[in-house]
Amino acid sequence: MDKPKKRHWKIRLHEIIYEADTSGGKIFDIILLVTIIASIILVMLESVKSFDAKYHNFLNISEWIITILFSLEYIARIITVKKPFKYVTSFYGIIDLLSTIPKYISLVFGGIHALAALRALRLLRVFRILKLVRYLGASNTLLKALRSSRVKISVFLFTVVIIAIILGTIMYLIEGEEAGFTSIPTSVYWCIVTLTTVGYGDISPVTPLGQFIASIVMILGYGIIAVPTGIVSAEYATQSKANKIIEEDVQLNSQSCSNCLSEKHKDGADFCYNCGEKLH
């Protein structure tokens, strides 16, 4: 009699952690979101020297609280999933682990500065918030439009890089070292800065010929921005029309299979479309 009860407890926890449909699941997701944002703000504040000097203890204790919360969440996720190994080796599983260990490592090796690199990875945890975005956009026209124009945008970006290399080399030969065009890679960097209309101004042409070519680069960059925009606009419009027909037929929910973690089950589905496991 003990076993089914325990299983029931696991199923409920699985629902709370992995699904967003029940009220418990929603509250868990919101708390997780707030904790992640708090952890990011903590890492940010720690990097501000003047703030760290003043509130070092507060930051340290807060870090420990969040580390423990993240550790508990990590353990709970492993327990409630049927195939823990699959979770541990998944993208989110690795990020979850990497988000918790830096503080433990700092305990052994002291506050080595190089560990900050590992801490930065904790920020990747924010992507899990995107899981919500994924639900929101289950039948999202935007994602479909981006996917169908992926090849075209890649070709476009590749062309931009080639133009940057050629024009960057030309500018290196024209402007020379005095104007800051110290090497071809630096010139290519300048060319990308200009083509994308960012324009830092740390490197800028000084010779008349250099300024003339720079003007061409700018107008080129100003003009070719129309290309990705045009692609996405048209694809999005096409997807919008196509979606209206599809959306009326299929309704997906935010449930996640407790066996294989696959998502986007149809409303009213009783078994996982991927592994055949019963859905709760």
The reply to whether 199 sits near its own copies by the rule CB under 8 A is yes
The reply to whether 237 sits near its own copies by the rule CB under 8 A is yes
The reply to whether 133 sits near its own copies by the rule CB under 8 A is yes
Sort residue 120 into left (φ over 0), alpha (ψ -120 to 50) or beta.
Answer: alpha
Q: Which is nearer to its own copies, 214 or 272 (CB)?
A: 214
CB of 160 to its own copies, least distance (A): 6
Applying CB under 8 A, among 68, 198, 246, 269 the residue interacting with its own copies is 198
The reply to whether 195 sits near its own copies by the rule CB under 8 A is yes
Contacts 24+ apart (CB under 8 A), 15-24: 15/280, 17/73, 17/76, 17/77, 17/80, 18/80, 18/81, 18/256, 18/258, 18/261, 19/254, 19/255, 19/256, 20/132, 20/135, 20/254, 21/253, 21/254, 21/255
Q: Which of the stretches 66-74, 236-244, 247-255, 260-268 binds its own copies when contact is defined by CB under 8 A? A: 236-244
Report d(CA 28, CA 92) in Å as an integer. 17
The reply to whether 209 sits near its own copies by the rule CB under 8 A is no
Q: Which of residues 239-258 bind its own copies (CB under 8 A)?
A: 240
Residue pair 188/165 in contact (Cβ under 8 Å)? The answer is: yes
The reply to whether 98 sits near its own copies by the rule CB under 8 A is no
Helix (H) or strand (E) holding 172: helix 150-175
Q: Which of residues 99-128 bind its own copies (CB under 8 A)?
A: 116-117, 120, 123-124, 126-127
The token pair that represents 169 in the structure block: 């080399």
Q: Which is nearer to its own copies, 76 or 124 (CB)?
A: 124
Q: Which of residues 26-65 bind its own copies (CB under 8 A)?
A: 40, 43-44, 47-49
